[in-house]
Amino acid sequence: MPELPEVESLTHFLRERAVGRTILGVDVVGFQALKTFDPPATALGGLTITGVARHGKFLDLDCDGLHLVIHLARAGWLRWREDLSGAKPVRPGKGPLAVRVRLAPDDEGSAPGFELTEAGTQKRLAVYVTRDPGEVPGIAALGPDPLDPSFTVAALKRILGGNRTQIKGLLRDQKVIAGIGNAYSDEVLHAARMSPFKIAAALTDAQIADLHEAIVTTLGEAVERAHGLAAKDLKAEKKSGLRVHNRAGQPCDVCGDTIREVSFADSSLQYCPTCQTGGKPLADRRLSRLLK
């Protein structure tokens, strides 16, 4: 799943390639992806892309004041195409293609564009056409952006204060902090040497400062690694930069202990016992239920 660093990189990527170009047309194939009906996607045809912004994990293309907002969700991706002039017309079907955005040809005659695809059967990719991105419910509810200078230790302390939630779930909650998902919350907690099950309100001032440092550093480094990469190379880069997420059974880079996993109904978390939980493995509820 693309999280803040990957969406930030896609934002830069599209800013360099798409800004200044006119949209020839937006073809919606996966109708379930389009969450708005007025204005219609056809209204984007003929407009020029004037800016690209990121809100949490949302991509926002400003097209002369009309916005194409994209949330890639768990299995969605953006694929840049250098030349769509020979591409077959899109037909609704079972393939991964959900939306194709065709851009006007440049002087050399190639007509680039991009496609939004979604693998798997769970269709969660979401596209909005709106005059005001703030009207997209997921954007309206976003918490502060951890790359924004206003995200200080004091701001994090205010967020955590009195919150009886486990820190892992809290970090992933877009209404609390924007842009962090399952992968980077594992990475942040490993960097902060903190148990994913720690209750937010129980953190000391020193632990809040450590957590803040881990959030800013982990995301900042991931943004730096992803910067300038082509859209197609981002997934591999994300994977290679992860120290605990999806690495259960492998040795921890920091201490050599074996990275462990806790499974839930539709997700899992990974952590290092020595670095994060005083050497004690956390109970895996799914596993203990199976063993009963």
Residues found near Zn ion in the complex (CB under 5 A): 252, 254-255, 257, 272, 274-275
CA distances from 8 to 11, 28, 50, 145 (A): 5, 24, 17, 12
Specify the residue, 14 or 272, whose C-beta has the smaller distance to Zn ion. 272
Nearest residue to Zn ion on Cβ basis: 252
Instruction: Find the angle CA(226)-CA(18)-CA(139) to the nearest 5 degrees.
Output: 70
CB of 204 to Zn ion, least distance (A): 21
Specify the residue, 90 or 254, whose C-beta has the smaller distance to Zn ion. 254
CB of 188 to Zn ion, least distance (A): 14
Query: Encoding tokens for residue 198?
Result: 């720690």
**8 A C-beta contact, residue 115 and residue 79:** yes
CB of 137 to Zn ion, least distance (A): 39
CB of 106 to Zn ion, least distance (A): 50
CB of 191 to Zn ion, least distance (A): 11
Specify the residue, 155 or 254, whose C-beta has the smaller distance to Zn ion. 254
- Best CA proximity match to 287, nearest among 260, 250, 256, 259: 260
Specify the residue, 7 or 252, whose C-beta has the smaller distance to Zn ion. 252
Query: Encoding tokens for residue 227?
Result: 């910067």
Strand partners, 80: 114
Specify the residue, 191 or 219, whose C-beta has the smaller distance to Zn ion. 191
**8 A C-beta contact, residue 126 and residue 74:** no
Sign of CA dihedral 42, 43, 48, 49: negative
